[in-house]
Structure 1
Amino acid sequence: MISVRYDDPSKVSVSDAINVSGNIYSHKYPCSTSDCTPYAILFNPGMYKIELWGASGGFLDNLGAHGSYTSGLLPIYSPRTLYIYLGQKGEWAGQATFNGGGKGTVNVTNPENHVSGGSGGGASDLRLTNGPWKNFESLKSRIEVAAGGAGTSFYNDIPIDGGAGGVLEGYNGTIRYCYQPYKITNSSGGTQTSGGLGSNSSGINGGFGYGGDCGSGHHGSGGGGGYYGGGSGGFVSCRVTSGSGGSSYISGFDGCRAIAKDSKPNSIHHTWSSLHYSGLRFYSPSIKDGMSEIPCTNSTIDESCTQIGNYGHGFARITIYEQHDPVTIKRCHPLINNFYISVFILIYSE
């Protein structure tokens, strides 16, 4: 068994946000606004599959770029509480979203103006430390992050697609050109070590845990949240760009770059390893971007049900694979035993 509660119940407004079906615990975005709260989950010793879906960006019909999907098996050796932060989906002409989605063009209220931009979708993540979502020490404690997609821009009745949430890097935004000699740079997706760049003129860079806000009142769109968020879109005369997607991260996933323990808000650096400084790592980790086929966000597991990226709010699903005492986990689980054997052979061969 695991024990699930809201870190701040006063912010919850969704009555059916938690669903339990046998050994599967599913979690929806529990709030109706961007002032939300994480789930606080007490894990007993055992092996757990943890799946996260990042939120999508916003557009006229909320059809912004889709969020990423992450999964992995996490062994827990002693009782401990971890925190799940779910991303809020972006909206057309929306404010910044919970867990890192960048602001859209918030002063545009009429689609007939032919200009607008959605806000970015927030990332969904698993942390060791709670607190406000943007608190640096809390962000630094993330061991699994599913990126959010960027908002989509709109100009002269034509959508300008935002960048989807990515794997190691988020997808770049899109440029819509007119036949004029104006120069504009595209926004870029978040990476493993830096936020994505905002488009020149009015775009704003993403950063550690957040997508860039749209700097224009009428054009461009917000970047998606992520391990590092994507940059926002902008405009120069009649050339408009959209925001870019965030990057994802899992401790133990090849190619990911873990943040160093001694990093500070103004001095962030990374190791060359994917393993988080806490020592917690996932086995059989997987990351799928927002353009790929991923499992559906259901409260039960249906392997025949798939979708392309995640559309809507972030989602989380925890499956209890095994619950044992810590010694049994270390001695008996084949994934962990294989890891220890591999380490022994590597050391012996050197």
Structure 2
Amino acid sequence: MPFTFNLTDHSKGTNKVFNDKENEYTFEYPCSSTYDCAPYEVNFPPGSYLLEVWGAQGGWYNKADECLGGYSKGILSLKNETKGYLYVGGRGTATTVPGIQMGGFNGGGNGYFYSAKEMYGGGGGGASDIRLEMDLLTTRIIAGRICN
């Protein structure tokens, strides 16, 4: 079986996967909303895979102070065909309008912009990860941390 992938909910977005080099795939954030998205379902044939994931960037009113998501790298070796779920974290939001700043998809925490007290908190970026069960965090095999 070949390596295959597909977004699990096409009502939220479209596949944004690029194969620029042989056996190398880049998965980009697939949804229009930064806080409501769906994972990719990925089918891995037996073999070894170099996995790299980056958590999403947090939002901030001053672009110089933005928080970048964490990075993880590892090798996954599989003896059998394996289904997994790839989550691409959503970027946290930030505006200059007072109020809640939404955290990004997959765990980014909300921030709050309160101009009268000069308190500026953008939403955190969501984690990017690969897991074996769709909605079960304990089955993560690699994760790029969130940025809150």
Q: TM-score, normalised by structure 1?
A: 0.37
1:248-280 per-residue CA deviation (whole Å, 9 max, x = no partner) reads xxxxxxxxxxxxxxxxxxxxxxxxxxxxxxxxx
Partner of 2:118: 114
Please give the alpha-carbon distance, in whole angstroms, between the structure 2 residues aligned to 1:29 and 1:61: 23
Query: Counterpart in 2 of 1:104?
Result: 111
Query: Cα deviation per residue 1:2-57 (whole Å; 9 max; x = unaligned)?
Result: 101111111105x6x21012211110111121110001110001111111001121
CA distance in 2, matches of 1:49, 1:120: 27
Which amino acid in 1 is paired with 2:18? N
Task: Work out whether residues 64 and 149 of structure 1, in 8 Å CA contact, stay in contact via their aligned partners in 2.
Answer: no
Corresponding position of 2:19: 20
Helix, strand or coil for the counterpart of 2:11?
A: helix
Query: Which protein has greater RCO, CA pairs closer than 8 Å, 6+ apart?
Result: 2
Q: Which residues of 2 match residues 86-97 of structure 1 at below 5 A?
A: 86-92=88-94, 93-97=100-104
Verify the 8 A CA contact 1:95 1:119 in the aligned structure 2.
Answer: yes
Q: Separation in 1 of the partners of 2:51 and 2:42?
A: 12
Secondary structure at the counterpart of residue 80 of structure 2: coil
1:102 aligned counterpart, secondary structure: coil
Deviation at 1:80, TM superposition (A): 1.4
Q: Give the superposition deviation at 1:115.
A: 3.1
Among 137, 141, 144, which residue is 1:143 paired with?
141
- SS in structure 1 at match of 2:137: helix
Query: Structure 2: any 5+ residue segments left out of the alignment?
Result: 95-99
Note if contact 1:64-1:90 (Cα within 8 Å) is conserved in structure 2: no
Aligned residues: 139
1:31 is aligned to 2:35: no
CA distance in 2, matches of 1:81, 1:8: 16
Q: For residue 112 of structure 1, report the CA deviation from its aligned partner.
A: 8.1
Counterparts of 1:98 and 1:41, CA distance in 2: 19
Distance in 2, matches of 1:53 and 1:95, equals 19
**4+ long deviations beyond 4 Å:** none
Show CA shifts across 1:220-274 (max 9, x none).
xxxxxxxxxxxxxxxxxxxxxxxxxxxxxxxxxxxxxxxxxxxxxxxxxxxxxxx
CA distance in 2, matches of 1:64, 1:42: 34
TM-score scaled by structure 2? 0.85
Show the counterpart of 1:43: 44
Q: Is contact 1:83-1:129 (8 Å) kept?
A: yes
SS at structure 2 position matched to 1:37: coil
Pick aligned residue for 2:132 from 128, 135, 140: 128
In the TM superposition, what is the alpha-carbon distance from 1:114 to its structure 2 partner? 3.3
Aligned partners of 2:47, 2:66: CA distance in 1, in Å? 38
Percentage of identical aligned residues: 36
Post-superposition CA distance 1:265-317 (Å, at most 9, x none): xxxxxxxxxxxxxxxxxxxxxxxxxxxxxxxxxxxxxxxxxxxxxxxxxxxxx
Aligned-residue CA RMSD in angstroms?
1.9
Q: State the SS of the aligned residue for 2:6.
A: strand
In structure 1, what residue type is equivalent to 2:37?
Answer: C
Distance 1:28 1:112, change over 3 A: farther
Match of 2:61, SS?
A: coil
User: Which structure has the bigger radius of gyration?
Assistant: 1
